[in-house]
Amino acid sequence: MTIGWYPGHMNKARKDIMKLLLQVDLVIELVDARLPYSSENPLLNSLIGETPRLKILNKTDLADPATTKLWLEFYKQKNITPYALDKTQPETIKKLLKTARKISGKKSNQVLRIMIVGIPNVGKSTFLNILLDRKVAKVGNEPAVTKGTSEIILDDSIKLIDTPGVLWPKIEDQNSAYRLAITGAIKNTAIEFEDIALFALGFLREEYPENLKNRYQLPEINMDAGLLLEAIGRKRGCLRKGGVDYHKASEALLHDIRNGALGRISLEKPESIPAC
């Protein structure tokens, strides 16, 4: 299937971001540490232009640590300032503001205007709540919880602009689209669970075989992805009259990936993406 999801509020948000970018001094861009390339909105590169940027590899607690190191080095070589973060690092998140001011070139007595951007479900709201030390943004497991831009005064010297998660009208690289669907960046109602689960199993069987064996207590995984999904369904009790409920088995697999029950997994490496 061809995967895509671009509801109307995203088009409006894109236009709002274009206007607001003219008023900001720095952009903090969040990507998912499990798939930094696929979770980077290509439209943002053209919209941000020469505006200074901090790139945050978020949700590192779910990503493969060795692969995250590769991504950090990759961005450094491209003269992009990257940070690897997760929601358990509030002090590190707050220290980012000092780096942000330094990169922006703004003096301490000048107001620093920062825009926070990223695709749906990348953790912008959680990041913002930790940064401000209070709950100002709604947090949810489904993408597109935040639907409009908002301005937040952090103190007399810092103004934050929070933006909704924005995808792009057509995802050309369907491998990226599948990876986004695996992590929940694309709304569940816009995907076919079995299709996504089979794609995920094909990847996991090659890259993280021990994670599959350990999670589902499978002695062997060297089999067709469909048979592997069936075996997982039986282990997880996803049954119906006549055999395995493949939809429920697919939901169970994706849930395990998204919440880290399968271990720390990265879905792409720098050398495996088209941009490299």
Give domain status of residue 239, yes or no.
yes
What pLDDT was estimated at residue 37? Answer: 94
Q: Does 51 share its domain with 114?
A: yes
Helix%, strand%, coil% for the chain, nearest 5: 45, 15, 40
- The rounded distance, in Å, linking the Cα atoms of 189 and 184 is 11
Task: For residues 35-58, give the mean pLDDT.
Answer: 86
**If we measure between CA atoms, which residue out of 87, 82, 100, 38 comes closest to residue 59?**
87
- Residue 111 tokens, joined: 């107001």
pLDDT over 90 for what percent of the chain?
47
The tens digit of pLDDT for each residue in 159-215 reads 888 887 776 567 778 898 899 999 998 888 888 999 999 999 999 999 999 999 999
Burial-class residue 191 by CB neighbours within 10 Å (0-12, 13-18, 19+): buried
Per-residue pLDDT reduced to its tens digit, 214-235: 999 999 999 999 999 999 999 9
Structural domain harbouring 16: 8-162
Domain identity same for 247 and 122: no
Provide the pLDDT for residue 62: 95
Residue 212 CB-half CA count within 13 A: 25
Domain membership flag for residue 92: yes
Query: Are 158 and 197 contained in the same domain?
Result: no
- CA distances from residue 50 to 14, 29, 80, 116 in whole angstroms, order as listed: 18, 14, 12, 16
Q: Centre a 10 Å sphere on the Cβ of residue 256 and count the other Cβ atoms it contains.
A: 20
The CA-to-CA distance between both ends of the chain, in Å, stands at 26
**Do residues 118 and 230 share a domain?**
no
Q: Are residues 89 and 25 part of one domain? A: yes
141 and 18 share a domain?
yes
CATH number of the domain within which 213 lies: 1.10.1580.10
What is the total count of domains within the chain? 2
Structure tokens at 244: 């395995």
Tell me the CA distances in angstroms from 122 to 14, 74, 238, 258, one per residue in order: 17, 20, 29, 12
Tokens describing residue 80 = 């992009």
Cα three-residue angle 52-55-60, rounded to 5 degrees? 165
Residues 138, 214: one domain?
Answer: no
Residues with Cβ within 8 Å of 140's Cβ and at least 6 positions away in sequence, in order, are: 125
**Which residues lie closer than 8 Å to 129 by C-beta, 6 or more apart?**
135, 136, 137, 139
CA angle 143, 59, 15 (to 5 degrees): 45
Q: Which of 91-100, 142-151, 263-272 has the highest mean pLDDT?
A: 263-272
Here the CATH number for the domain that contains residue 28 is: 3.40.50.300
Contacts of 89 (CB under 8 A, 6+ apart): none
At residue 144, what is the residue type? Answer: A
pLDDT at 253: 97
User: In this model, does residue 257 exceed pLDDT 90?
Assistant: yes
Are 207 and 141 part of one and the same domain? no
Q: Which two tokens stand for residue 95?
A: 């220290």
Domain boundary (162, 184, 211) is at 162
pLDDT for res 1: 60
Q: What is the pLDDT of residue 11?
A: 64
Please indicate, yes or no, whether the overall pTM of this predicted structure exceeds 0.95. no
Q: Under 8 Å CB-to-CB from 183, ≥6 apart: which residues?
A: 32, 34, 35, 39, 121, 257, 258, 267
On whether both 223 and 151 belong to a single domain, the answer is no
pLDDT at 157 over 90: no
Higher pLDDT, 59 or 128: 59
Residues 108 and 36 in one domain: yes
Kindly state whether residues 153 and 218 are assigned to the same domain.
no
